[in-house]
Chain A
Amino acid sequence: MRAIFGWSINFDMKFSYNWLQSYFNEKLPASEKLAELFTFRFSEVESVEQIGTDTIFDLKVLPDRACYALSHRGVAREIAAFCRMGMVDVPFKAVTPRGSFGVDIKEPSMCARYIAASLAGVTVSDSPAWLVERLASVGQRSINMIVDIANYVMFDIGQPLHAFDADKVRGVLSVRKAREGERIVTLDGKEVVFKGSELVIADEEGPLAIAGIKGGKRAEVTKTTTKLLLESASFDASAIRRISTSIGIRTDASKRFENKVPRYLAEEGMARFIEYIVRESRGAEVTVASYVDAHGELDHGRRITISGEFISRSLGVAISPKDIEGFLGVLSIVFSKNGDVYELDIPPWRLDMTIPEDVVEEIGRLYGYENVEPKLPPRVSAPSVLKALYWHEKARDFLVSSGFSEVVTYSFRKEGVMEVVKSMASDKSFLRDDLTKNISEALSMNLAHAPLLDISQIRIFEVGKVFPKGGERTSLCIGIAQSKGFKGESVNEQIRQLRDRLVGYLGAPIATVCTIDDTGGVILLSGKPIGTINAVDGVMEIDLDTVTGVLPEPKQWDITVRKVEALYSPISLYPFIVRDVAVYVNPEDHFDGVRAIINRLEGEKKLMHVVRKPERPFDEFLNSKIGKKSLAFRLVFQSHERTLTDAEVNGEMEHLYAALKEHPGWQVR
């Protein structure tokens, strides 16, 4: 079941143990230990799988940490922090701008940075074994060396990258909005027709790629490509999310952009992209013909001021300066200190850290929430009682003590007044505007099950919101149904009596102001209609908000709380079969004798499918003419596995008849 407090929009990513190990000289903790550390220091672990000599962790990266942790290096930094291990991070070689290639960012609000580099002398070969293996470990198929390196760098450091065949690009590259009706065929052969608000990378001929989401077929890198145009860019998170949703394409790149990729990373991404291509193009003379870095404002360094006292007070546990400083150190947070106050320099990849509370979380999780001792808040006096709630509960108590059971039904239905914009199903487009309909349906459904429930009448109620024109109110609906042959008062009469008792129970003010017009089936309060009675036979519904409005303020919370410990017994989905039996017994005999026989036959497996054993006879009378007492009772048969046949039930009944007849003086009628 999904988190209910809010929405954890987590991002699953596969992480390779061996790949993470490459960031450390020291041996990582064993995979089981590492999984446990992930769970309690970092993120939920969806699965841990041993594949060959590697272990693959499927982690649900939290959305706030996705800006840095959807990459092996990001998670390696986490491990470095919570294992206090030194990390090996080989620095990249920055590329100096050169050449005259033009990039025109027409939408700077959606694209803060675009680095383009063109490479000449390239041979597009298959990937080396190490690269194929690395990608395979995280579930990625090898395509060709260039595409594989782009993917590898993305899974390694988190920067999405793209490569075009430079010979297929015409003129200046621009980052612009798509024009309405423009089309692109994506790398996987899907045609997208643009609405006009999407962001594309285009040349003079038209779109080459859907920015940050998917490349196009036209400038695809193939085996014959010799010149590359590489892209490493920073696209706006909201824009990418909106466009990706609107065109229905989500990719590893778009997922990362949606979660903010730090702008500083584009430079490193490009440098490593080029570095790997040069290194792996063994023998070939690859040259960087041009390199352009078009950008507006880049990331600001962020500083947070926080006191040790604030950290300890927020967590409710005293954290020593030594511990705080240790945790800051392993998080690569550089700080200066003035008394108890720390001035923190937040590393550029931690876009999620903006306020002191974020620092509290970092210290808290590294300290370990399991080490935070629970404390109860100070005692205070009993809280005030909510009037409406109190009277709702009082009404429930009254109804339960009057033999009514509570149901909770669906708020959605086919017709109504208030409609939802997008419904689950065509018969659930509206919100209910009364409860009467739901109660009527529940009455007939339950009446059909009456023998199973061992009751002769269905009495139910619901308290819930209904949605009439313009708003909502709390409604109370009460219903009674009984089978046609029921000996007793009509359901309408019983409802009328119940109404009077309910009014009496709730208290004086209602009794004096409530008048009822039975002929019209309307309940009135001070002349104003507040409900209906027997408009549907045996059903009344009242506006509970109005009724509770005129009731007095409750003095204290004196609602019964019964601890219910019962465990659910399964309900069979198969039909049940009812058999009524009447037996003449001696006048002094009790029904217990019949029950004993039924129990014995069950023990002997001669009665196998009785789901409802009679507690008492439903009819009992003395036939003075023959000097015998008649007991009539009901058995209900049902299976949890299948539909029982009449023949099966008849067979079981024959055992019962035989056993009853064996009893001295008894005869089956």
Chain B
Amino acid sequence: MSHKAETDNNVGHLHPITSTVREIITIFGDLGFQVAEGPEIETEFYNFDALNVPADHPARDMQDTFWIKPAESKRCLRTHTTSVDVGRFLEAHKDALPARVIAPGKVFRNEATDATHEAQFFQIDGAYVDRDVSLAQLKGTLEYFFKKLLGNEITLRFRPSYFPFVEPGVEVDILFRGAWLEVMGAGMIHPNVFKAVGVDTSVWRGFAFGGGIDRLVMIKHGIPDVRFLYAGDLRLVNQF
């Protein structure tokens, strides 16, 4: 009797977030955006102060932000990667501008979890700084990005919004598979942010944008619950 050896059916799969991050890096790379990385445990300065978030802004509360013990150290789990591209990168490159930079990465919010909310998720944030920068270019850049990522048939629109680190500020919606979805916040970088990181506001202007990667992964693949992404479960991962 001759038995064949047990077959090895293993085919490896990248996590859908990684695949999407790679696509994002490639698309923005085509537009000249480089990637920046930064720490997940962030200082209050880069996470909040430098981004023009008022000292008594509700987002700084323990209910919204994971502060690290001891509380006096004023360090928190970053609540966005805006701390990386707008905070740290622009400060480090203030004498080497112009700059085009994106920061994909894990971020944290202290809130109750459900199908659409997680305490940890991935964000893509980006900044563009040059002598002549406009809201029209922000729109052009994001439209290029979303068409490459989700297909040419999407439509993109801006609505008035507010974020402390931009002025004007807009909400970015896309029409995808018949529904309008909020996918990003964006706007022209606020002069107070430039001042905080030492960029000369008489010369440089910029735009910034940021949104959740998990949500993009979920809408693209039809995944109904964000928590599935972090369950370590190959029943999900091996589908992609």
Also in contact, A364 and B221, with CB within 8 A (given A3-B171, A5-B211, A374-B143): no
How far does the alpha carbon of A56 sit from the alpha carbon of B64 in the complex, in Å? Answer: 31
Q: How far is the CB of B50 from chain A (nearest CB, A)?
A: 13
Residue of B nearest to A42 (CB): B160
> Which A residues are CB-close (under 8 A) to B153?
none
Say yes or no for B108: interface residue by CB 8 A criterion.
yes
Question: B11–A618 contact, CB under 8 A?
Answer: no
How far does the alpha carbon of A120 sit from the alpha carbon of B26 in the complex, in Å? Answer: 74
Q: How far is the CB of A95 from chain B (nearest CB, A)?
A: 34
Stretch in A17-25, A173-181, A465-473 touching the partner: A465-473
Say yes or no for A8: interface residue by CB 8 A criterion.
yes
> Which B residues are CB-close (under 8 A) to A295?
none
How far does the alpha carbon of A566 sit from the alpha carbon of B14 in the complex, in Å? Answer: 13
Residue of B nearest to A441 (CB): B232
Question: B12–A360 contact, CB under 8 A?
Answer: no
Q: How far is the CB of B19 from chain A (nearest CB, A)?
A: 5
Also in contact, A316 and B238, with CB within 8 A (given A361-B169, A418-B41, A571-B228): no
0/1 string, B35-69, CB within 8 A of A gives 1? 11101110000000001010111110111101111
Q: How far is the CB of B165 from chain A (nearest CB, A)?
A: 7
> Which A residues are CB-close (under 8 A) to B222?
567-568
Stretch in A101-109, A129-137, A375-383 touching the partner: A375-383
0/1 string, B137-177, CB within 8 A of A gives 1? 10111011000000000001111111111011111000000
0/1 string, B190-231, CB within 8 A of A gives 1? 110000000000000100011110010000011110001110
Say yes or no for B184: interface residue by CB 8 A criterion.
yes
Query: Which of A42, A62, A373, A421 is within 8 Å of B66, CB to CB?
Result: A421
Question: B6–A455 contact, CB under 8 A?
Answer: no
Question: A420–B139 contact, CB under 8 A?
Answer: no
Binding site for A on B (CB under 8 A): 1-19, 22-23, 25-26, 29, 31-37, 39-41, 51, 53, 55-59, 61-64, 66-69, 71, 77, 80, 82, 100, 106-108, 110-113, 116-117, 119-121, 123, 125, 128, 130, 132-137, 139-141, 143-144, 156-165, 167-171, 182, 184-186, 188, 190-191, 205, 209-212, 215, 221-224, 228-230, 232-240
Please, could you name 22 A-B residue pairs with CB atoms under 8 Å apart, sorted by A?
A: A3-B182, A5-B125, A6-B163, A7-B59, A8-B161, A62-B160, A242-B56, A369-B170, A372-B158, A377-B128, A389-B35, A403-B8, A408-B230, A418-B68, A424-B112, A445-B232, A446-B232, A446-B233, A568-B221, A568-B223, A570-B224, A621-B4
Binding site for B on A (CB under 8 A): 1-9, 39-44, 62-65, 238, 241-242, 245, 313-317, 355, 357-358, 360-361, 364-365, 369-370, 372-377, 379-386, 388-389, 393, 396, 399-412, 418-424, 428, 431, 438-439, 441-442, 445-446, 449, 452-460, 462, 464-465, 467, 471-472, 486-488, 557, 559-564, 566-571, 615-616, 618-624
